[in-house]
């Protein structure tokens, strides 16, 4: 294994996945891989990266999430230790602002840039995917979209997120809640409904998610009731557009025979056998 492959594996090894399936890196762990021994110097690099993020008119708090921890300092005493949860984009910006004389920094710049590009796809490339590949791609986008939507909803004052998300589903699915959709699809308890949608149904939900986030921010909504109402109306509007264009209502679209979780498990087992 050459140095590049070895370091790429290291970046993957310290990657974490949160409860929403979103990948992130801890700044403290990244600091060690980058070869920094003093947090003060690495924190300065992070601040430069945050400024670069702001200059790109991107909200830095979405990519550099403060995640302080309590650590022992001896004799049972503890103190708060500053840390961040970083997105792939944040890691890329940090690599861009780190010490260029460190060999691993150049490798990190390439790794995070290339991996970010792999998550993007052109219209032509998308059209050549199989239905299951389209499902995986759309599911990844909805997962990231829901993460951003939750942040926007939280800023708008939403506390009951189940009610908030059900408002959107009700608008798009003619009154059905997430539980109603799951029952109609014949899913087991707490089985993810998005993992059991085809690419067309996922695309409709992705549009609902992104448009709701945009409206919450654009209208500067700061009331839970207004946020729920907005989510419902966006879902309903998308439903009306589907009907106007002669499309199939989302609740009438077929449920795939296998969930994405099943397909993912089968793919892993297949790779193990190989």
Q: Which of 67, 85, 118 is the last residue of a domain?
A: 118
For the stretch 183-195, pLDDT in tens is 999 999 889 999 9
Range of the domain at 43: 3-118
Q: Is residue 269 part of a domain?
A: no
Q: Is the separation of the CB atoms in 223 and 164 below 8 Å?
A: no
Q: How far apart are the first and last CA of the chain?
A: 20
Q: Is 247 left (phi over 0), alpha (psi -120 to 50) or beta?
A: beta
Walk across the sheet containing 23-26 and list its strands. 15-17, 23-26, 84-86, 64-66
Assessment of whether the complete model's pTM goes beyond 0.85: no
pLDDT band at 9 (very low <50, low <70, confident <90, very high): low
Strand-pair partners of 86? 25, 64
pLDDT band at 3 (very low <50, low <70, confident <90, very high): very low
Q: Which of 118, 142, 170 is the last residue of a domain?
A: 118
At residue 222, φ and ψ (nearest 5 deg) are -135, 35
* 104 & 189 share domain: no
pLDDT band at 114 (very low <50, low <70, confident <90, very high): low
Q: E strands within the chain?
A: 15-17, 23-26, 64-66, 69-74, 77-81, 84-86
* 149 & 51 share domain: no
Q: Is the separation of the CB atoms in 168 and 232 below 8 Å?
A: yes
Those residues whose C-beta lies under 8 Å from the C-beta of residue 90, and which sit 6 or more positions away, are 25, 49, 53, 63, 64, 84
Q: What is the DSSP letter of 75?
A: T
Q: State how many domains the chain has.
A: 2
Q: Is residue 267 part of a domain?
A: no
Q: Is residue 169 part of a domain?
A: yes
Q: Is residue 273 part of a domain?
A: no
Q: Is residue 107 part of a domain?
A: yes
Residue 199's nearest CA partner among 250, 261, 123 is 250
* 57 & 167 share domain: no
Q: Is residue 274 part of a domain?
A: no
* 27 & 71 share domain: yes
């Amino acid at each position: 294994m050459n140095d590049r492959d070895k370091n790429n594996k290291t970046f993957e090894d310290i990657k974490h996945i949160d409860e929403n399936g979103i990948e992130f890196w801890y700044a403290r762990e990244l600091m060690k891989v980058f070869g920094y021994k003093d947090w003060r110097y690495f924190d300065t690099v992070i601040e430069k990266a945050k400024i670069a993020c702001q200059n790109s008119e991107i909200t830095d708090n979405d990519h550099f999430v403060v995640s302080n921890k309590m650590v022992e300092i001896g004799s049972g005493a503890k103190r708060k230790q500053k840390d961040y949860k970083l997105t792939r984009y944040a890691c890329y910006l940090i690599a861009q602002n780190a010490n260029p004389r460190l060999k691993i920094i150049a490798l990190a710049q390439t790794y995070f840039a290339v991996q970010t590009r792999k998550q993007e796809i052109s219209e032509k490339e998308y059209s050549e995917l199989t239905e299951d590949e389209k499902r995986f791609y759309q599911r990844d986008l909805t997962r990231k979209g829901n993460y951003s939507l939750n942040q926007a909803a939280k800023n708008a004052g939403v506390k009951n997120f189940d009610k908030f998300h059900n408002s959107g589903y009700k608008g798009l699915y003619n009154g059905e809640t997430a539980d109603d959709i799951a029952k109609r699809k014949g899913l087991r308890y707490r089985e993810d409904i998005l993992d059991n949608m085809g690419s067309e149904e996922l695309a409709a939900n992705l549009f609902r998610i992104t448009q709701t986030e945009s409206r919450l921010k654009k209208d500067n909504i700061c009331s839970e009731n207004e946020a729920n109402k907005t989510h419902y109306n966006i879902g309903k509007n998308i439903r009306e557009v589907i009907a106007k264009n002669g499309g199939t209502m989302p609740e009438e679209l077929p449920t795939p025979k296998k969930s994405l979780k099943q397909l993912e498990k089968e793919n892993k087992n297949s790779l193990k056998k190989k």
